[in-house]
Amino acid sequence: MRAHMFVIRPPVNLWTSAWLAVWFLVAAPPVGAQANLDINTPAIIGLTSSMQQRYGQLAPLYTSGAVGLTRDGFVALRDANAIPLAQRASANALIAAENQDRAALYREIARANGHPEWEPEIRSTFAARWIDKAQAGWWYQDAGGAWKRK
Amino acid sequence: MTNRPLWLGVVASLGLLLAACVTINIYFPAAEAEKAADKIIDEVWHLKGGEAGATPQSTPAPKPN
């Protein structure tokens, strides 16, 4: 083992510079580029359809303030008094079914895209978007958990 | 004094470096997730496609529906 064998001299010449330029400008960037998330699996389509159908019954509950959007991507009973007594049981069933679909949706999107560990982030992404797209007058939870009206 | 411990250390470091390279590239695509969420929410709440009762959309995106 001679000393000169351990001397590291970077061979920075024209070809190396060119290769590095190609790498950083052409080859490497696509690694960071984000491909569209797949939301076309049968399970996701089925859940979206189920939630879309349930929306017909949920919309008046959103409007009346009986049901609000939680800060973690779900729906919750906010004001039971806004629901006639006779309809409270079915409203609670609606809420439970919606939350079940939502939980399954977030899980399925993560799974379908090869990253089950993404479920919490997908859930919080949805939480923010549900609230952003909520109609004026609907209720939602702010970051601290307090109910606010849009 | 043998060079074997040094050689093993180099191989172990290379292996660790390789593993680290794989995990570094995996991060949550926030912008794409937002896009996917918007698409699904628009469908569930009938926001695009001419249903009444929706908040006015600020960007009229020409989407092939």
Model confidence pLDDT, tens digit, residues A70-119: 999 999 999 999 999 999 999 999 999 999 999 999 999 999 999 999 99
Asked whether residue A81 is domain-assigned, the answer is: yes
- How many domains is chain A built from? 1
Find the domain containing A125 and state its range. Answer: 42-149
Asked whether residue A2 is domain-assigned, the answer is: no
**Chain B contacts of A36, Cβ < 8 Å?**
32, 35-36
Give the integer Cα–Cα distance in Å for A137 and A65: 8
Asked whether residue A109 is domain-assigned, the answer is: yes
Asked whether residue A119 is domain-assigned, the answer is: yes
Question: Complex ipTM, two decimals?
Answer: 0.78
What pTM value is reported for the model? Answer: 0.69
Q: What is the pLDDT of residue B57?
A: 46
Residue in chain B closest to A116 (alpha carbons) equals B28
Percent of residues in chain B assigned helix, strand, coil, to nearest 5: 55, 0, 45
Those residues with Cβ within 8 angstroms of residue A145's Cβ, 6 or more apart along the chain or in another chain: A71
Instruction: For chain B, list residues whose CB is within 8 angstroms of any CB belonging to chain A.
Output: 25-26, 28-47, 53-55
Asked whether residue A94 is domain-assigned, the answer is: yes
Asked whether residue A60 is domain-assigned, the answer is: yes
CB contact under 8 A, A39 and B39: yes
